[in-house]
Amino acid sequence: MTSVSRLSAIETSINREIRKIERPKDSLGNALPISEYFGQYAFGLDQMKSKLSTEGFEQLMNLVKKGKSLPKETANEIASIVKDWALSHGATHFCHYFQPMTGLTAEKHDALISTKISEQGQTQVIDRLTGEAFLQQEPDASSFPSGGMRSTFEARGYTAWDPMSPVFIIENTNGKTICVPSAFISYSGYALDMKTPLLRSIQSVNEAATSFLKLVGDVDVKSVDVSLGLEQEYFLIDRAFFSMRPDLVMTGRSLLGRASTRGQQFEDHYFGSIPSRVLSFMQELEQEAYRLGLPLKTRHNEVAPSQFEVAPIFENANVSTDHNTLLMDMLRKVAQRHKLVCLLHEKPFSGVNGSGKHCNWSLQTDRGDNLLEPGKTPHQNLRFLAVLSVILKAVHEHAALLRAGIASPGNDHRLGANEAPPAIMSIFLGDTLSKICDRLEKGEVLEDSPAETVISLGVAHLPAVSKDNTDRNRTSPFAFTGNKFEFRAVGSSSNVAVPIMFLNAAVSASFRDFSAQLKELLDSGKARDEALLSLIQKSMKEAKAIRFEGNNYSEEWIAEAKKRGLPHLKNTPEALQVLGDEKRVSFLHELKILNPQELTARHHVALERYNKQIEMEAATLLEMVETSIIPPAEAELSRRSALAESLKAWGAKEPSFEGAKERKEVLSKLYSELLTQLASLKKDLDSASRMEDEEKRSLRLADKVIPSMEALRSVADDLEAQVSDELWPLPKYREMLFLN
């Protein structure tokens, strides 16, 4: 027998009807191919070019490429075109869609109207969107976290249109709204958002990489762009179960819950047959995404039960980041239509794999060359090794900052838990490429390999390079996968603008350092290829510690990493201390990606958000134990006590009386331990909450409160196995994870 409320939720879940959706159709009623409606609700530079006057588009591209201001007339022309397009699709409102330091998105809707007064003095409404309103808006900056850059009485902040990211239309049940991707800055010009520093880092990589390529002989390269493909993992559970779990509602993860007897041990979920209800959700998600111009490519089951993944085709890092924030929002909204809840937390369920967001990162020239792919000529392959050396150097020198970029309370539960890379940055290259790097480092020549697996470099003392001869290492936080690096340590709920901004910054600094050293060698009279090769060899030696080809999950690697001097920042408070270390972050100021005030603000915001999250989780756990664990435990204890007393009074003999007595004592001991751990957590939380210094508080929360939470949970989960099913009010793991 099951508790009435849980039984009702189970019946609701298993009796859900699969939601049907209508595919876009042509005039004859035939389903359209994706290509026919892809980008239907997106309006970017291609659409601008087809609609704007020649002069207007030239002025727009001067803004995009050279940062020149947009004339008022052109701004009004752009706004009018966007307004007409939006009205043709039934939109009534528009908003600037931006990414404050909450890590989420924000929007304020205004109607696409203006007013005028008639000759008779009556107010009339006209459809209108001015260039001024389209380019810039003024949300209240003091209402968002700013790390001290905006006080409550200093409310002014500005959002500014990002022309490189397409405008899009969001549709809900009763209307449509134009969303204008925007940056968010303060009255003083400080970046208050995630997007602005990312854009600066992309520009910095472009300048540094282009200059480097010209030095090595690619004089016709005009620009280098950062490409990004984001694999998004998530969980789906029925809404009926979600609504009965205060921990999921308030924190996004289960603070209590005994692992079910079946989890992922059979390894049967990954790439398995997608459940029909989930597939219906995925199909609607994809259809909505295609209309908005999101190039979703892959869908599949992930490792844990009720865990899934969606992955797009590569895009420019700025657009890819915007599209991912939009995708996360769509995952939640579309799930609701199917009476499901999408959980993006890194570790919503204990005992099964958590969720990450694998960031596939690469560099591409304006000629279409991928700088992380060996080419067809000796020069291209020498360039490939040089770029590889630049990245090795970048990750080696800025490993601690990259770790800070992925730090979050949710990711702390996942990193190093035998399911995700540890909190130690390292690079995996694969056997073939590692051997090449080792030989280069020693100045040796690699012996010839089969022609089909290698490409001859054609340069004296330079070994052959494998074009795509590397296995994948799923335990590595930063793995080379043929023609890109996969940054696997990023958390599923993260706004990737932060970790990618830090990665771009590190690579940009490394490119600049390489260029400076190469110039010195060239000025000394060394031939270009010889000078470049010597730099590559030097970098391979200096960055060798960051390379690791083995099992990153192993205890041996943790010990080895310590010997190598690699930073091991085990939790978010430790990682965030890097942001206050001037030696480690000064290059961000020099590259003009984040000035000291902006970086300090982000440090404070991250600390504050960590503290609030952990305190909220602890308070929620305390409340759940008081209201959902203790009452059924007491009811069960009362039952067992009554039974033991009855059997004793009836003169019952072994084994019934002793068995009942033993069951009562087991439960009594757990109940007593629960009360002890409850008091301990209350004490630890109260002690931490009284600390005014945010950094000290975060360390106390990590060192004391989280272990207390885990101890309390452990006892509560043991009680779950003892309390009668009909008394237990919370949906169990077996129900949430296996009844979709």
Nearest Cα residue to 498 out of 100, 151, 164: 100
Per CATH, the architecture of 201-594 is what?
Answer: 2-Layer Sandwich (3.30)
pTM: 0.92
pLDDT of residue 153: 46
Residues 6+ apart with CB under 8 A from 572: 407, 408, 409, 411, 412, 606, 610, 698, 702
First to last CA, the chain: 21
| Contact between 236 and 285 (Cβ < 8 Å) | no
State whether residue 715 is helix, strand or coil: helix
Cis preceding linkage at 655, omega within 30: yes
Q: What is the CATH number of domain 38-193?
A: 3.10.20.70
CA separation for the pair 531, 533 (Å, rounded):
5
| Contact between 176 and 131 (Cβ < 8 Å) | no
CA separation for the pair 544, 418 (Å, rounded):
25
Query: In Å, how far are 18, 527, 622 from 541, measured between CA atoms?
Result: 58, 21, 52
Nearest Cα residue to 477 out of 375, 409, 407: 407
Residue 604 identity: H
pLDDT of residue 445: 56
3-state secondary structure 487-533: ECCCECCCCCHHHHHHHHHHHHHHHHHHHHHHHHHHHCCCCHHHHHH
Question: Within 10 Å of residue 663's Cβ, how many Cβ atoms?
Answer: 17
Query: In Å, how far are 242, 351, 625, 637, 653 from 630, measured between CA atoms?
Result: 21, 23, 6, 10, 31
Nearest Cα residue to 157 out of 195, 128, 184, 118: 184
DSSP of 404-435: HHT--HHHHTTTTSSSS--SS--EE--HHHHH
CA separation for the pair 165, 320 (Å, rounded):
9
| Contact between 303 and 264 (Cβ < 8 Å) | yes
Question: Within 10 Å of residue 151's Cβ, how many Cβ atoms?
Answer: 10
State whether residue 630 is helix, strand or coil: helix
CA separation for the pair 357, 492 (Å, rounded):
5
| Contact between 346 and 355 (Cβ < 8 Å) | yes
State whether residue 629 is helix, strand or coil: helix
Length of the chain: 740
CA separation for the pair 254, 348 (Å, rounded):
6
Backbone dihedral region of 474: left (phi > 0), alpha (psi from -120 to 50 degrees) or beta?
Answer: alpha
Question: Within 10 Å of residue 563's Cβ, how many Cβ atoms?
Answer: 8
Q: What is the CATH number of domain 609-738?
A: 1.20.120.1560
Helix count and strand count (H, E) for the chain = 26, 20
Residue spans of the domains in the chain: they are 38-193, 201-594, 609-738
State whether residue 466 is helix, strand or coil: strand
pLDDT of residue 448: 43
CA separation for the pair 528, 266 (Å, rounded):
56
Question: What long-range pairs does 347-350 form, CB within 8 A, spacing at least 24?
Answer: 347/253, 347/410, 347/413, 347/414, 347/417, 348/235, 348/248, 348/252, 348/253, 348/254, 349/235, 349/253, 349/254, 349/257, 349/304, 349/733, 349/736, 349/737, 350/254, 350/257, 350/259, 350/713
Tokens of 56: 């207007």
Residues 6+ apart with CB under 8 A from 266: none
DSSP of 205-233: HHHHHHHHHHHTT-TT---EEEEEEEEEE
Angle at CA of residue 436, ends 432 and 440, nearest 5°: 170
CA separation for the pair 721, 714 (Å, rounded):
11
Half-sphere exposure (Cβ direction) of 303: Cα atoms closer than 13 Å: 13
| pLDDT profile of the chain (740 residues), mean per 10 | 81 91 88 92 93 92 87 92 93 90 83 80 81 81 64 66 93 91 86 93 97 94 96 96 96 94 66 88 96 95 93 95 96 96 96 93 95 82 93 96 95 78 87 85 58 45 49 78 91 96 98 96 92 92 91 87 93 95 95 95 95 97 97 93 80 70 91 97 96 96 97 97 94 92
Return the exposure string of 458-487: e unless at least 16 CB atoms fall within 10 Å of the residue's CB, then b: ebeebbbbbbebbeebbbbbbbbbbebbbb
CA separation for the pair 165, 97 (Å, rounded):
11
Nearest Cα residue to 373 out of 470, 444, 510, 518: 470
CA separation for the pair 273, 269 (Å, rounded):
8
CA separation for the pair 439, 71 (Å, rounded):
57
Query: In Å, how far are 77, 132, 288, 629 from 106, measured between CA atoms?
Result: 26, 20, 20, 37
CA separation for the pair 602, 632 (Å, rounded):
44
| Contact between 506 and 403 (Cβ < 8 Å) | no
pLDDT of residue 457: 46
| Contact between 426 and 537 (Cβ < 8 Å) | no
630 — phi, psi (to 5°)? -60, -45
What are the start-end ranges of the H helices in 15-152?
A: 34-37, 45-51, 54-66, 72-88, 131-135
CA separation for the pair 720, 260 (Å, rounded):
11
Tokens of 103: 């890590």
| Contact between 6 and 244 (Cβ < 8 Å) | yes
Half-sphere exposure (Cβ direction) of 297: Cα atoms closer than 13 Å: 8
State whether residue 26 is helix, strand or coil: coil
Residues 30, 33, 37, 38, Cα dihedral to 10°: 170
Tokens of 251: 């924190």
Tokens of 517: 């050293």
Residue 45 identity: L
pLDDT of residue 451: 38
